[in-house]
Amino acid sequence: MGMDVDFPEDDYGRVRSKLVSEPEDVDRLAFFDPSKASECPRFTKCFTEALEETSRILPEDLEICGLTWGPISTAGYIMGVEDMLMATMMGNEEMVSKLVAKCADFVADQQMTQCSHGATVMWMADPTSSCDIISPEMFPEFSAPALKKTISKVKKASGEHAFLHICGNTRPIIPMIADTGADCLSFDHAVPVREAKKLAGKKIALMGNIDPVRFIMMGTPEMVVPECYRIIKEGAADGGFILAPGCECPISAPDMNVIAMGRAGRNYWRDL
């Protein structure tokens, strides 16, 4: 897409430029077609072909997640999160809304391509929707409509369940997330399990929320297992809960801690 990015082998990519500064830039913005390898060979190699191979080797009863950023997070990469938030405060709300809506279609196209090549779960990470970044009042105005648009489009095309991850503090927006069409919210360790369950009610499943740094990266299996048991006890008694880290596992996390988390999820009910 013409952006200046850095992709280290052991960390996230970093965007060093932006494509959108003025309203006219939104109109000119052109996304690649995720279904065409010629337009973005890296997407095809890293997502499409990887999902096909994963689907080939995994047992049929295991779910396979694709991955995209959510619409407002994608918009933040394209415009710069700080500039995007400043625009909403300086009277350019229409430009931001238009960009986020355009990103929603792009995210949906990526998700539909992944679902057609082996993904069985629609997975979006939308950290910019966190109340640590945008105000709770901005979520229903800018983020929620775009999430709903994306999820609706993908579900109509693929029929797959939609999982949404939002980092940090999501307390004020958890009751609104079910209205986006998401089937499950992956929530951070910043929100206690009991609070999340109360706020979600029976409207949406929950997934979480082991501290990925304190326990998965810095801990030991002897620390991980009792923490998993505590979380399951608080979150899973009446169903609608999936044990998982509160955010992604750090790349340096020991395998033994990740394995301990998986075993805890399988063994909890047996060990009661």
pTM: 0.92
Counting the structural domains of the chain, the total is 1
Residue with the two structure tokens 């990526």 = 110
Residue 102 resides in a domain: yes
C-alpha to C-alpha distance for 81 and 88, rounded to whole angstroms? 11
Token pair listed for 240: 């609608």
Residue 227 resides in a domain: no
Residue 172 resides in a domain: no
Residue 21 resides in a domain: no
pLDDT in tens, 147-182: 999 999 999 999 999 999 999 999 999 999 989 999
Residue 122 resides in a domain: yes
Residue 193 resides in a domain: no
Q: Which domain holds residue 81?
A: 60-161
Residue 195 resides in a domain: no
Residue 112 resides in a domain: yes
pLDDT in tens, 61-100: 889 998 999 999 999 999 999 999 999 988 899 999 999 9
